[in-house]
Structure 1
Amino acid sequence: MLQPVAVGHKTLADYSSIVGRTLVEEIRELAEPLRGKRVLHLSATAFGGGVSEILYTMVPLMRDVGLDVEWHVIYGREEFFNATKVMHNALQGNPLDLTEDQWESWRRYNEMNARELSRGWDVAIAHDPQPAAMHTLAPEKARHWIWRCHIDLSTPNPGTIERLLPYVQTFPDSIFHMQRYVPPGMDGRVHIVPPAIDPLAPKNMAFSPEDAIYICDQFGIDVDRPLMCQVSRFDPWKDPLGVIDAYRIVKQAVPQVQLALVGSMATDDPEGWDFFNATVAHANGDPDIHILNNFNNVGAIEVNAFQSHADVLIQKSTREGFGLTVSEAIWKARPFIGGDVGGIPLQVDDGVSGFLVSSVEQCAARAQQILEDPGLGRRLGLAGKEHIRKHFLMPRLLRDWLKIFTELER
């Protein structure tokens, strides 16, 4: 029932010119004693969202340095994903907890997947809450278990975290993006490891201005007028409605400005379409607001084009586990504005490599400032790209994983 995910081939050597030979050599040295170790990643979906994007690069890179790695997607139907979406929101602070039926559904599907999980793994890594009960249910199927939490647990719904904690605190090791995301009561070793992006993925590789212009033009963007753009899921925490409100304020001063809201719809996000439709309704037919998703044939290349061409890139989250779209945006060397929440401040030095904001009005003011001062935009963009290069590219994350695997073997 667990579905193996096919990933492409990647080579660590291809990243040397970007991250430097010193880091690549450190990775190979760490990997040598781990050669042949069997590692399993467990997640809820193979596309849509940051977890799957990380794994499509991390799994082949782990293989390239000698580990025997697989990635399996757990089985679930609509009732399961409805429950885990409520759980995800509650763990990030939503007052709505799961019903008893939803908790039962979550546990029942974990039991089904635990039965089907094969044995013999050196390390099994459960990503996020969806498969978080599997260690409790089948600890014997791997020598070491890790819970990898990708969401912000700093202010969770008390009832939800109380029910989840007995499952996740039993993991011998856990990994969080930031220290303040670690809930009280975690019994095992806790590791703090921010995620990272793949600079060689189609979404992030270098794009010529001409190619970006050509693609944006295909989607009705007037490439001769300024463009604000947010790339993210259609999710209340990403606040696309607030981005539209900020755009409307900017438009009063810069009437030629346009807005693009670009996102992907994921299989484990049944609420996504409802909020997508709410975003369309909030745009109220404005021809200068372009709302696009993967069902409009917007894939990685198109996202790259929008980010590479935009005059202002935005991630106006009100709650954010980390926000890989922030690093992806800044990597394009374009000026960036982000919500001052979660992991976003880790990626943005306010006023140096971008701007952090806490309201619609602040977002609008910073966007207008950038649009009226292109030199400022260039300085922010270049400083931001260098910050991401040093701290948030995939080889650094691979090194951090190898250090954790080394600790497990001691």
Structure 2
Amino acid sequence: MHSPVAEHAVELATARKDIVRIATAGSVDDGKSTLIGRLLYDSKAIFEDQYEAVARASKGDHVDLALLTDGLRAEREQGITIDVAYRYFATPRRTFILADTPGHVQYTRNMVTGASTADLAIVLVDARKGMVEQSRRHAFLASLLRVPHLVVAVNKMDLVGWSEEVFDTIADEFSAFAAKLSVPDLTVVPISALHGDNVVTHSANAPWYEGPTLLHHLEHVHVASDRNLTDARFPVQYVVRPQTEEHHDYRGYAGTVASGVFRTGDEVQVLPSGLTTTIAGIDGPRGPVDEAFSPMAVTLRLADDLDVSRGDLVAKPENAPTATQDLDALVCWMADEPLRPRQRIAVKHTTRTVRAMVKELAYRLDVNTLHRDREATELGLNDIGRVRLRVTQPLFVDDYTRNRSTGRFILVDEATNATVGAGMLTPAG
């Protein structure tokens, strides 16, 4: 259940169509919770009484902003943050949905979950420790998941005397690593989350830094052009047939536009049947609209009475996705029981679920060194590897590098219905 503040923030952003999804990652004690608390507090996304409660609970001179985000007391006592927590905050320019993912190695799957839909990832680095193994891991996962913008927040700069040299060393090292990963956009910002330096306002402690503050960058980073507006893809989620007198002949297909643009009058093709028709109308939550694009949730009305059901995909005939029963993907395994060849499993791709068999494990990837272990016989919890699957019915897919919505899928254990893996359809390299 979201708070009224969160709901209002999302409603505002939807009206402005300017939602930016952010994934945050950092090693233990890099100050991630403090940074998120600082963004929430400085953007007025929390109530005064929340702040006062935190101020009372804080020890020492500073208000412990981490208490705003590390909500579970049991988890605080153990000193770990679990799962993915989503937080909302808004500024007059934009609304942000923040996926707060844990920094521990054993929670790679959570980072994959949080970053798979993100427009931007913030990787926190402790200025005293520099770039550690976890920083590389987080940067690699962000690039693997094709997060278009990466921000490295070099935190705790106050503890290294705001040394320009320390900052430059970390920035250079990270840039060199990012170059190997084909990260399209990298920004490095020196901050102190505890004191708020360079988070919302420029700090006098770093006169040598001429770049934007963290919030300014988040507000101005250009995310609209990252969205795929070329490949029209609409997975059908639900068939709408109201059983009322006045709407007895209404038939619509509800879902969320995965990518591309659909307009009334467009010629479209329904897969798997391959039949073509035109769009008679598009209904949004507040009535008819002329066009629909990602990530709008709409109902399409088609000119012809075709047999369309959940799991079908509406696309443009001249630009259809690939229909295939062989999936070659990078898979992040999320279950205690390992993934092995010959295993039977369910694949959920957009709104379509099919049965599959694991044909082979080509290699297991070492996320820290990027080494490919071709001798590996299984994928354990949090492992990432290249897996080939054969599915029982065709799926309509795109390359993940081109279309994140139709280029990914999840693996489901048929016996327990638990999600056990996430896959990205990328060319074998």
Normalising by structure 1, we get a TM-score of 0.30
Normalising by structure 2, we get a TM-score of 0.29
More helix by share: 1
Q: Choose 1 or 2 for highest CA Rg.
A: 2
More strand by share: 2
Higher relative contact order (CA closer than 8 Å, sequence separation 6+): 1
